[in-house]
Amino acid sequence: MQSLNFPTPIYNNNITMPQKANHFLFRNRRDQTPRFPTLVLAAEHDLTLEDEENKGGAVVPLPEGLRREVMPRHVAVIMDGNARWARKRGFSAASAGHEAGVRSLRELLKSCCEWGIRVLTVFAFSYDNWTRPKVEVVFLMSLFERMLKSEVDNFMRKGIRVSTIGDSSRLPESLKKLISDVEEKTRDNCRLHLIVAVSYSGKYDVTQACKSIAHKVKNGIVQLEDIDESLLEQELETNCAQYPCPDLLIRTSGELRISNFLLWQLAYTELFFAEALWPDFGKAEFIEALTSYQQRQRRYGGRHS
């Protein structure tokens, strides 16, 4: 693990707790312009956990040392190291590593559900990955399809909503239809929102947001003086989530870069780089990342007195 030790965070306890409200207050956030203070969101997060318990989805006790009041609401993961994992074990193809990586994802989903994390975004396939050998790309598309088919019933039992982000134009037609069906079937689930980035590019995400705003200006829907950060954020693909910007980014395999992933959304995200290859990333490694996150002081450019 490569990380920095930060002083214990200071939190403002003198905030007004919001009244209980429906989950996903802004289901279509593209039509909204809210900008919530971080601490108010955290308070709402605690209330939604209470709602889940009242609906029978009890949240299990946290591992020793973790605190629920400073649990990240949105965790993003760059799942790196599958091919290296396969080579280290003598497999001739990367497919064995990708298969093993699915098991790690299942374990991560389980932990997120149990510990009250609201959004999990995983970088499954970069737009730049289309340059990989065709046999590997075909396998990855097939693996994603098989995973969705095998897990959809589990998503419904666990209350997991599934969304995908990225340029879907190059995906196989069967996969595009399956994604649409799974998104529709799980759209009202609210225990955990799983966002799968497939054929995704952070640069493209910002570019398409700018194009969308430009079209609205051209058509008189938006005025030039209305353009600000909030408006652009509404056009980003992660705006399908209640908490669009990750609190914590985890990258496995010891690599120290973000690889064109969520470039705008990671502006104030805490970063954690794990040495473990993705198939070896389990509960213990996740606890280590969360513990590091909870020891940090998030200032958002300011300074605590």
User: Rounded to whole angstroms, what are the CA distances from 213 to 27, 186, 205, 236?
Assistant: 20, 29, 13, 11
Largest CA distance in the chain: 60
DSSP strand pairing (160-165 vs 192-200): parallel
Q: Is 51 a catalytic residue?
A: no
Torsion of CA 142, 144, 145, 149, to 10 degrees: 140
CA distance 248 to 72: 7
User: Rounded to whole angstroms, what are the CA distances from 220 to 28, 217, 224, 257?
Assistant: 21, 5, 9, 40
| Catalytically annotated residue among 46, 51, 80, 167 | 80
Contact by Cβ (8 Å): 80, 250: no
Burial 172-185 (b: 16+ CB within 10 A, else e): eeebeebbeebeee
Chain CA centroid to CA 131, Å: 24
* Coil, strand or helix at 160: strand
Handedness of CA 214, 167, 163, 67 (dihedral sign): negative
Q: Which residues are catalytic?
A: 80
